Amino acid sequence: MSGKVPQRSSQVGHLTSRVRHLLRGPRPEAVPALVGRACSLVGLLNIAAGVFPRFRHSRMHAIAEVLPGAFGPFAAALSLSAGVLLLLLAHGLKRGKRRAWRAAVVLLPAGAVAQFMYRHSVVGVLISVLLLTALLRHRDQFAALPDPRSRWRALANFVLMSAGSLALGLVIVSAHPGTLVGDPSLADRITHVLYGLFGFEGPVDYQGNTSWTVAFSLGALGWITAVTTIYLAFRPEHPAAHLTEDDETRLRALLAKHGGRDSLGHFALRRDKAVVFSPSGKAAVTYRVVSGVMLASGDPIGDVEAWPGAIERFMDEAKAHSWTPAVMGCSETGAEVWTRETGLDALELGDEAVVDVPDFSLAGRAMRNVRQMVKRIERAGYETRVRRVRDLGETELERIRRAAEDWRGTDTERGFSMALGRVGDPSDGDCLIATAHKADEEPGEYGDLKAILHFVPWGTDGVSLDLMRRDRSADPGMNELLIVAALQAAPKFGIARVSLNFAMFRSALARGEKIGAGPVLRAWRGLLVFLSRWFQIESLYKFNAKFQPRWEPRFVVYRASGDLPRLGFAAMQAEGFVNLALPLPRFLRRRTAARRPCPHQVAEREVRAA
């Protein structure tokens, strides 16, 4: 027994020295990350101390028992509760969130008082006081504002916490095999967990005081699930920022002067984006916050000389909320400015296919496949029409809108960096719509309409492809037919350049299939081809290559290599490939959209009424 005391003293001394190092050693900006990691470690140790009986008698218990949350006879339930709450709190502390700091400042003194009252543990009080001192000393590093949030967060918390409580509850119920009475089945154990989460006794029995330990632990899990869900449901909402009517007007003015520089400029007018302007108002950066990532797309809008001011505002906003700054799909010039002004890194993401209209022709061997496909479809009785949105009647526009929604292959609209998110809006009169028609003996819901292509303006002499939709019953090749029709009709609209789809990792696919490609490049291409089963990587590249475009590189700008997985996940959410929200049924989405006219429609109605 005496031999264990020096070992425990050395462990406690090591932990105390690490806390002292936290007080004076690390750089101030590194404190939130260190505190967050410490909370994660403490949480895991407390959960282990509360769940596994052997852990409470292991060497690690010498550290775990002096951490805030493990008190006296309620050690199992309280350490489990403290562990879960610290894990929930750790992420906010890592990001320097002010509210997480406030919660920690309140909880640490409470933990110190509990240590002294229940266990008379001077060491536990000392650790709590040292951690509290570190938080107070570096309080200026915990100033980040809250993230956008809604009531859906409460539902997500309830689902995830319930699932986690059920899984952890099964571990708790099964962690005492030596005191179990009989051999309860899995169904009995699940029933016992469900009863225990609500504070009732289940069908599983234990010998001695183990039943009380299990009951208190399960009750603590149920209590945490209920309290966190209620808190998230009733706290004030901070809805995600959207483009206001004034913001959109200012952006349109910038695009009118400088919109010809970037083919993605018009996509800044998505109304689910927010915007920051430079101090002079001559440049702007639009963005959306996804999973803590402040995601901009394309180049800044406006005068290139004013870009640094808008970028500085963007970075200040990211710092104020502790968001991770990132840019998707900027041009080479944009990447140079971003990296120069912010110190961020840039990585080539892929290439944008741009067709110069004066150089486009269906003649020649390279265009034979496209030429034959277009002629075959035209012989089948299809005709095409290319018009500006302002030249279409409201009845036809409404039919095109409904067809574009119903022909969408996914429940959610995909696209962020190269998608406008709407079709036929009165404020987008310069957009170009190409449609394919075929007179059938029995007209469908949308008459003779069979396919749609929608282009947004790219300055005064270009357009950029927004979306492609087609009737699933139509003949293959509708997209090729309409792209050719748009390119052939472009001169009469004064269009000299057309931006098609973005081909991700295009250079790797192109070089990897050539003779002499090395094993690394071939392996990378093989991985991309494999991923193309779920994501349109190779197919988009081959589709774009049919039209013999020139390739313009696009880049992703990021802060650190460790942020790339998180950035990739956020980009997939923004583009609609990953949807963590619960989508409404389609008929409800349509009714909701009908009840929410755009600001310009509201203004137009008010003028007519006046």
HSE (side-chain half, CA atoms, 13 Å) at 449: 23
- Strand-pairing partners, residue 467, are 454
Place of tokens 């250079």: 507
Q: Is residue 162 part of a domain?
A: yes
* Pair of tokens at residue 413: 């609209």
Q: Domain of 131? A: 27-58+68-141
Do 264 and 329 form a contact (C-beta atoms < 8 A)?
yes
Looking at the structure, tell me whether residues 167 and 183 fall in a common domain. yes
The DSSP bridge partners found for residue 388 are: 432
With cut-offs at 50, 70 and 90, classify the pLDDT of residue 63. Answer: low
pLDDT at 606 over 60: no
E strand or H helix at 50: helix 31-51
- Residues 125 and 98 grouped into a single domain: yes
Q: How far is residue 530's CA from residue 288's CA, in Å, rounded to a whole number?
A: 30
Please count the CA atoms within 13 angstroms of the CA of 472 that sit on its side-chain side. Answer: 5
DSSP per-residue string spanning 71-108: -GGGHHHHHHHHHHHHHHHHHHHHTTBHHHHHHHHHHH
| Residue scoring higher pLDDT (194 or 444) | 194
Kindly report the average pLDDT of the chain as a whole number.
77
The pair of three-digit structure tokens given for residue 471, joined into one six-digit string:
């009737």
In a domain, 72, yes or no: yes
Q: What tens digit of pLDDT does each residue of 231-266 get?
A: 767 665 555 667 888 999 999 999 999 988 999 999
Longest dimension (CA), the chain: 96
Q: Does residue 342 fall inside a structural domain? A: no
DSSP output for 460-505: TSEEEEEEEEE-TTSPTTHHHHHHHHHHHHGGGGT--EEEEEEEET
Give per-residue pLDDT as tens, 471-484.
888 888 899 999 99
Residue 564: band (very low, low, confident or very high) from pLDDT cuts 50, 70, 90: confident
Band the pLDDT of 308: cuts 50, 70, 90: very high
CA atoms of 158 and 225, how far apart (whole Å): 7
126 and 185 co-located in one domain = no
- One domain for residues 118 and 169: no
Q: Which of 187, 205, 234 is the last residue of a domain?
A: 234
381 within a domain of the structure (yes/no): no
* Domain assignment present for 193: yes
Q: What pLDDT was estimated at residue 599?
A: 42
The least confident of 22-36, 68-82, 569-583 is 68-82
DSSP state of 428: G
SS3 category, 327: strand
Check whether residue 137 and residue 167 sit in a common domain.
no
The number of domains in the chain is 2
Domain-terminating residue out of 214, 234, 254 = 234
Is residue 76 within 8 A of residue 43, CB to CB? The reply is no
Apex CA 271: angle with CA 269 and CA 277, to 5°?
60
Pairing of strands 324-330, 293-297: parallel
- Judged against a pLDDT cut of 70, whether residue 602 lies above it is answered with no
Q: For the residues of 123-160, what is the DSSP string, one character each?
A: HHHHHHHHHHHHHHHTGGG--BPPPPB-THHHHHHHHH
Say yes or no: 133 and 225 in one domain. no
Are 31 and 137 members of one domain? yes
Distance CA 489, CA 495 (A): 9
pLDDT class for 487, splitting at 50, 70, 90?
A: very high
Beta-strand relationship, 383-388 and 432-437: antiparallel
Q: How far apart are CA 342 and CA 325, in angstroms?
A: 10
Q: Average the pLDDT over 511-534 and give the result.
A: 76
For residue 207, pLDDT beyond 80:
no
Is residue 228, in this structure, part of any structural domain at all?
Answer: yes
Distance CA 492, CA 387 (A): 10
For 381-424, the pLDDT digits (tens) are 899 999 999 999 888 899 998 888 888 765 556 667 788 888 88
Tell whether 186 and 211 lie within a shared domain: yes
Query: How far is the C-alpha of 463 from the C-alpha of 42, rounded, in Å?
Result: 56
pLDDT tens readout for residues 131-146: 777 777 777 777 676 6
Task: Scan for tokens 């590194």, then name that residue.
Answer: 30
Supply the pLDDT for residue 590. 44
Contact partners, residue 401, CB within 8 Å, separation at least 6: 423, 424
Residue 516, by phi and psi: left (phi above 0), alpha (psi -120 to 50) or beta? left
If one counts every other C-beta atom within 10 angstroms of the C-beta of residue 474, the result is 18
Sign of the C-alpha dihedral, residues 236, 240, 241, 245?
negative
Question: For residue 134, what pLDDT is reported?
Answer: 75
Bridge partners for 120 per DSSP: none
Q: Is the pLDDT of residue 584 over 60?
A: no
Say whether both 103 and 202 belong to one domain: no
535 inside domain: no
**Percent of the chain residues topping a pLDDT of 70:** 73
CA distance between the termini of the chain: 91
Q: Are 160 and 113 within one domain?
A: no
DSSP for 229-295 reads HHHHHHSPPBPPP---HHHHHHHHHHHHHHTTS-TTGGGGG-TT-EEEE-TTSSEEEEEEEETTEEE
Averaged over 56-82, what is the pLDDT?
Answer: 54
What pLDDT is attached to residue 150?
58
Check whether residue 109 and residue 155 sit in a common domain: no
Q: Which of 216, 234, 252 is the last residue of a domain?
A: 234
What is the pTM (predicted TM-score) of this model?
Answer: 0.67
Decide if 37 is inside a domain. yes
Residues 42, 107 within the same domain: yes
